Structure 1
């Protein structure tokens, strides 16, 4: 065998070794799992779809510290549609659909008085209950931290057509003795 032929075979072997021995890029770890967080592993997101036409509350544990309720919602693995117009809280890119709900033909042109919208909820204590947020910036203005629970519901917000969560915080996070952290 000639030296040139041996060198060519060695080159082919090395190419094959490096091609198949090179580790594949790691896939990104998921940012959420189904169900509530069991500890301070992340933030629990509860998307109450009942007011938007689907009798379901989707609960996800978003790992880590997303920082804001909006980032937690974005990382919860739900389909989120936003608007280019100002929302009810005057935030840009407000949430106008979650999981393609409501299933209307509107163009997500911004919140209008007396019309339904997605509302963000935090949990307060004494008693443990949902509390509507009055933050500037909407969900982007609500700080959340690991161990927290944040809710989203759809409705108008009038006595005739309330915008409220259909489940209590204790039905979402069932860990005995759970209390929301001070963020």
Structure 2
């Protein structure tokens, strides 16, 4: 039932983001960059802090090459979080995935994550800054329904990804 509502919203958000990137010289921000309206559903630290050590699966991404963290042609990405620290808004994410290099074996890695404010937000930490081997990259939370799925923008790749809980990856 919730997927009938969530899927059109995700498609709409991703289409808007794609169109914003097509107009690189435009200074207009996407409609979802509005802390007063969407801030509560973009609270990145609270979002990853929900449900204890919940497992997240990468359900969908508009890219599959991430040399800094997941490698080339990554797939079957599963993540869970530990060592949350509410004082400095940090946690550790543990990733398990496959890529070109690993074949059918899984690779495991840990990444330090800090919730940060992005796009001039003042009250909500709407992005996650990931630090892997001294390389930092940011995932901006576009939308979360607070329960099942989170839609992130990955500015480094100018692409999007959807992380979900309560899903089984049958293709992996």
Q: Verify same fold: TM over 0.5.
A: no
Bigger radius of gyration: 1
**TM-score, normalised to structure 1's length?**
0.30
**TM-score, normalised to structure 2's length?**
0.31
Relative to its length, the structure with more strand (as a share) is 2
